[in-house]
Amino acid sequence: MSSKRPDGIEEYDAPAGGWGALKAVAATLKQQQVMTQGPLTLLKANQPDGFDCPGCAWPDPNHTSAFEFCENGAKAISWESTSKRAGPDFFAGHTVSELWDWTDHKLEDQGRLTTPMIYDSTIDQYKPIAWDEAFERIGKELRALESPDQAEFYTSGRASNEAAFMYQLFVRAFGTNNFPDCSNMCHEATSVGLPKSIGVGKGTVSLHDFDHADAIISIGHNPGTNHPRMMTTLHKASRRGVPIVVFNPLKERALERFAAPQNPLEMATFSSTAIASAYHQVKAGGDLAALKGIMKLLLERDAADLAAGGKGLLARDFINMHTVGFEDLKRDLLQTEWEQIYRKSGLKRAAFESTADVYLSSKRLIICYGMGITQHSIGTQVVQQLANLLLLGGHMGREGAGICPLRGHSNVQGDRTVGITEIPNRALIDGMERAFGFRPRQDKGHSAVESIEAIIDGRSKALVCLGGNLAVAMSDPEATYAGMRKLDLAVHLATKLNRSHLLTAKTSIVLPVLGRTDQDIQATGLQSVTVEDSMSMVHASRGFLKPPSDQLKSEPAIIAMMAKATLGDRYGIDWEGLAADYDRIRDKIEIVFPDFFDFNKRVRMPGGFRLDVPAASREWHTDNGKANFLVAGGLEEDIRFDDPDVLILTTLRSHGQYNTTVYNMDDRYRGVFGRRDIIFMSEQDLKARGLADGDKIDITGVKVGNSTPQTVAAFTAVRYDIPVGTIAGYYPEMNKVIALADLDTTSGTPAYKGVPVMVRRSAG
């Protein structure tokens, strides 16, 4: 097609990775002014004696000898180790109202925070406050609440195990279970869904299993951008001849072809390796139909084999010995009609036939998945269908097979493991009593969406955020912003300035923290923290850069002092002692969670240790002691509207962002440069609305619950290879059209990938 494309839209022909990625790293280092420390910083990432890359939760190969190249890891690290600073001078030069009009990129690009700051409403500015005074204020405000349940304690998934554990100790001693968490916006469908299926809310595979898999299904995730180190693994698998079957509405370049920067031949010859053996462009929200289709075809072929006198094609022995619910699943699949499956998934018969071929010729299958699965109104049930599909072939608990949720933040899984949860179980409460001699409450607290609802209604009056950018990450920011501006107290522990900090409460305090790359020195000397990756490996991380300011404190230290100022000597917890030596925190973690036995010893071994994942050895810690086939009724993943005018919007990360952190305005692999104000649409959907490539459009959310439909105006429609009925735009810009009530009611996860919207030509 030769017609002129909209500004900034180009065909990007190169493979993912390769020279383009190396060039991008050089540009990032320059932009963040880290040339002097930068390359050294990068070389230490994910090394046995280095720090854990804050980029993602993909594990490190134990035997790492050379720096594992990763473009987006490099961006994450240089963004943190930048030499730019947002100190008192900066804040003295700008009112909060002025900063509000800046872009998210510009706010964070001011650099690292250097001093504790408190908002002064008389001048509409943040000004410095001494640490002691800040803690005193926070303690006073928290104690003044009528009930501890009027406070919300948010955690973003970069917090280390030590920080997260201290935080939950503080909050439980304070007396609430209000633990909104970024997990509630991310893999909660996994944490809630998988325990019912296989008895553990985590992935079952390790990196080793990828070397032994003979087929991989990749569904609803974009590793070229979000887990680039996974590309090394997929690249290797593909070169071994392992079929990789992809289900994704967009043709993500890295899943099509990838040039490994570590591979001299590919780099020298500008060649690349095909990753996907088959690429199925499923509709957004069509995965439930797709998965049921695959399973239905497996049953049909199995029945045919049995009828012809064969032994059947499913793992009958495994199903009989290890599972419950097969007949219910079968009934559901038999009554699901093929026509409906094709229509909802957008896939044709051939896609199902070829996937069934791969499935039936494989002995060891891994399924990898991400937000394309979890962020739907019944995300939990869709996750369970992935488990069903694996169980039919016995692909659980054997080498080279299993389920692989791609976690988001580098320690989002660990934070949950060490007690950040609004639904504490008995074991956690017992453990806390063992370790600290008091028995915390066990009733359910608030998840992320519930915390926002409570803030909007005025039921909650205080918000403490251990990192993150909650207001911007959440759906319906208009309502969220208004709610947060009514708070009595807002406290943010952060590395950099972001929009959530500008939603000022009566008392607003921003506390600057050490990052992963910074040296953390406490009373007993240099400290290490620990993190758990996507594959349940726990290992140490030690920063080594000189901190950006001598005023910064570590997260565990800040939490300890906040707790002391709020709780005094309640329960006799030795806050100073814990913060002085993180080994003592780890000793307490071990008492609360026996899986961490010999924690301090084992974490000092190169590569750390793996937490027990019972399902990986076919131990099912479910209520009935078996793995369960679980039925999801129907084929609808998202709220359904009969109106043909309603499109389903899925929201994506660009290649130049980390969640709400926008590094730059490019989305290289999708051919978008210098802008984010676009919506990808199929030619057919454009035509049906009388629109052309490049036209200005307004996108309006459809009313869900008691939401007020919001509009994002004057974005540009971009013709794109995407299924009819599905459109895509960037997170967080598109959050405005997402209703708070549009969520997975089982897990509380907002349906960010299945948003019903209307698209109209812009009036202006």
Interface residues with ligand MGD (CB under 6 A) are 55-56, 72, 108, 156, 158, 182, 185-186, 219-222, 225-226, 247-250, 252, 282, 284-285, 287, 370-372, 375, 406, 408-409, 466-470, 473, 493-496, 498, 513, 515, 555, 650-653, 657-661, 731-732, 734-735, 752-753
Chosen from Mo ion, ligand MGD, none, partner binding at 222 (C-beta under 5 to 8 Å by type) = ligand MGD
Report the nearest approach of ligand MGD to the CB of residue 122 (Å). 26
Q: Kindly state the DSSP code that residue 551 receives in the 8-state scheme.
A: T
Chosen from Mo ion, ligand MGD, none, partner binding at 257 (C-beta under 5 to 8 Å by type) = none
Tokens of 487: 């708070």
Report the nearest approach of Mo ion to the CB of residue 370 (Å). 9
Runs of H (alpha helix) within 308-378: 316-322, 326-335, 338-345, 349-360, 371-374
Report the nearest approach of ligand MGD to the CB of residue 536 (Å). 17
Decide if 412 contacts 155 (C-beta within 8 A): no
Positive or negative: CA dihedral 659, 660, 664, 666: positive
Report the nearest approach of ligand MGD to the CB of residue 214 (Å). 22
Minimum CB distance to ligand MGD smaller for 197 or for 469: 469
Minimum CB distance to ligand MGD smaller for 266 or for 287: 287
Report the nearest approach of Mo ion to the CB of residue 382 (Å). 17
Minimum CB distance to ligand MGD smaller for 161 or for 469: 469
Tokens of 6: 């909209």
Report the nearest approach of ligand MGD to the CB of residue 731 (Å). 3
* Three-state DSSP state, 70: coil
Minimum CB distance to ligand MGD smaller for 319 or for 740: 740
Between CA 666 and CA 674 the distance in angstroms is: 5
Chosen from Mo ion, ligand MGD, none, partner binding at 693 (C-beta under 5 to 8 Å by type) = none
Which amino acid does the sequence have at 728?
A
Minimum CB distance to Mo ion smaller for 15 or for 408: 408
Considering only CA atoms, which of 413, 374, 403 is closest in space to residue 52? 413
Provide the residue count of the chain.
764
Minimum CB distance to ligand MGD smaller for 586 or for 670: 670
The 3-class SS string of 107-171 reads HHCCCEECCCEEEECCCCEEEECCHHHHHHHHHHHHHHCCCHHHEEEEECCCCCHHHHHHHHHHH
Minimum CB distance to ligand MGD smaller for 431 or for 547: 547
Minimum CB distance to ligand MGD smaller for 622 or for 707: 707
Minimum CB distance to Mo ion smaller for 186 or for 472: 186
Minimum CB distance to Mo ion smaller for 186 or for 740: 186
Chosen from Mo ion, ligand MGD, none, partner binding at 370 (C-beta under 5 to 8 Å by type) = ligand MGD
Positive or negative: CA dihedral 494, 500, 504, 505: negative
Report the nearest approach of ligand MGD to the CB of residue 109 (Å). 11
Chosen from ligand MGD, Mo ion, none, partner binding at 156 (C-beta under 5 to 8 Å by type) = ligand MGD
Minimum CB distance to ligand MGD smaller for 435 or for 632: 632
Residue with nearest beta carbon to Mo ion: 408
Chosen from Mo ion, ligand MGD, none, partner binding at 752 (C-beta under 5 to 8 Å by type) = ligand MGD
Between CA 419 and CA 589 the distance in angstroms is: 9
What phi and psi values does residue 488 have, to the nearest 5 degrees?
-85, -35
Minimum CB distance to ligand MGD smaller for 622 or for 661: 661
Minimum CB distance to ligand MGD smaller for 435 or for 702: 702
Mode of pairing for the β-strands spanning 257-259 and 16-17: parallel
* Three-state DSSP state, 713: strand
**Residue 123, CA distances (Å) to 76, 118, 550 in order:** 34, 12, 27
Report the nearest approach of Mo ion to the CB of residue 189 (Å). 12
Report the nearest approach of Mo ion to the CB of residue 509 (Å). 26
Positive or negative: CA dihedral 172, 614, 324, 297: positive
List Cβ neighbours of 364 (8 Å cut-off, separation of 6 or more).
Answer: 209, 212, 213, 214, 215, 395, 398, 399, 400, 401
Q: What ranges make up the beta strands (E) of 441-563?
A: 462-466, 489-494, 507-512, 521-522, 525-526, 529-532, 537-541
Chosen from Mo ion, ligand MGD, none, partner binding at 455 (C-beta under 5 to 8 Å by type) = none
Q: Is the peptide bond before 732 cis (omega within 30 degrees of 0)?
A: yes
Considering only CA atoms, which of 633, 199, 610 is closest in space to residue 391? 199
* Three-state DSSP state, 570: helix
Between CA 476 and CA 752 the distance in angstroms is: 11
Which amino acid does the sequence have at 173?
A
Chosen from ligand MGD, Mo ion, none, partner binding at 32 (C-beta under 5 to 8 Å by type) = none
Report the nearest approach of ligand MGD to the CB of residue 590 (Å). 24
Decide if 367 contacts 389 (C-beta within 8 A): yes
Chosen from ligand MGD, Mo ion, none, partner binding at 204 (C-beta under 5 to 8 Å by type) = none
List Cβ neighbours of 579 (8 Å cut-off, separation of 6 or more).
Answer: 166, 522, 523, 554, 556, 557, 559, 560, 561
Chosen from ligand MGD, Mo ion, none, partner binding at 558 (C-beta under 5 to 8 Å by type) = none
Minimum CB distance to ligand MGD smaller for 78 or for 222: 222
Chosen from ligand MGD, Mo ion, none, partner binding at 476 (C-beta under 5 to 8 Å by type) = none
Chosen from Mo ion, ligand MGD, none, partner binding at 230 (C-beta under 5 to 8 Å by type) = none
CB atoms within 10 A of CB 91: 24
Report the nearest approach of ligand MGD to the CB of residue 374 (Å). 8
Report the nearest approach of ligand MGD to the CB of residue 538 (Å). 18
Report the nearest approach of ligand MGD to the CB of residue 181 (Å). 9
Considering only CA atoms, which of 396, 390, 348, 366 is closest in space to residue 244? 366
CB atoms within 10 A of CB 324: 16
Within the chain, what is the greatest distance between any pair of CA atoms?
A: 84
Positive or negative: CA dihedral 521, 524, 527, 532: negative
Chosen from ligand MGD, Mo ion, none, partner binding at 225 (C-beta under 5 to 8 Å by type) = ligand MGD
Residues making contact with Mo ion (CB under 5 A): 186, 408
Report the nearest approach of ligand MGD to the CB of residue 500 (Å). 8
Minimum CB distance to Mo ion smaller for 186 or for 387: 186
Between CA 724 and CA 685 the distance in angstroms is: 6
N- to C-terminal Cα separation, the chain = 28
Chosen from ligand MGD, Mo ion, none, partner binding at 173 (C-beta under 5 to 8 Å by type) = none
Chosen from Mo ion, ligand MGD, none, partner binding at 513 (C-beta under 5 to 8 Å by type) = ligand MGD
Chosen from ligand MGD, Mo ion, none, partner binding at 285 (C-beta under 5 to 8 Å by type) = ligand MGD
Minimum CB distance to ligand MGD smaller for 56 or for 615: 56
Report the nearest approach of ligand MGD to the CB of residue 269 (Å). 27
Report the nearest approach of Mo ion to the CB of residue 474 (Å). 13
Decide if 684 contacts 721 (C-beta within 8 A): no
Positive or negative: CA dihedral 164, 169, 172, 174: negative
Report the nearest approach of ligand MGD to the CB of residue 195 (Å). 19
Which amino acid does the sequence have at 459?
R
Minimum CB distance to ligand MGD smaller for 406 or for 432: 406
